[in-house]
């Protein structure tokens, strides 16, 4: 049972981590965001799955 959980959940956790990292890389690169950047850092890291998605959709400016 535990093996199965790790086997199935771990890849998802990795994907979620990739999502967070990519969002943070993008945040570092862009010149301007809607609202302060530190707020976006919090949203991306603690916003669960929705955090990075919301950042990618509305975070960037221009």
Residue 50: which H helix or E strand, with range? helix 50-54
Residues that bind other proteins (CB under 8 A): 4-5, 8-9, 12, 15-16, 18-19, 22-23, 25-26, 31, 49, 52-53, 56-57, 60, 62
Q: How far is the CB of 46 from other proteins (least distance, A)?
A: 17
Q: How far is the CB of 34 from other proteins (least distance, A)?
A: 12
Q: Residue 4, Cα to own-chain centre: how many angstroms?
A: 26
Q: How far is the CB of 56 from other proteins (least distance, A)?
A: 5
CA distances to 12, 14, 48 from 7, in Å: 10, 12, 21
């Amino acid at each position: 049972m535990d093996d199965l959980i790790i086997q199935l959940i771990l890849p998802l956790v990795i994907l979620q981590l990739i999502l967070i990292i990519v969002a943070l890389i993008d945040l570092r690169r862009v010149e301007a965001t809607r609202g302060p950047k530190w707020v976006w850092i919090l949203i991306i890291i603690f916003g669960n799955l929705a955090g990075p998605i919301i950042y990618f959709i509305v975070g960037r400016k221009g």
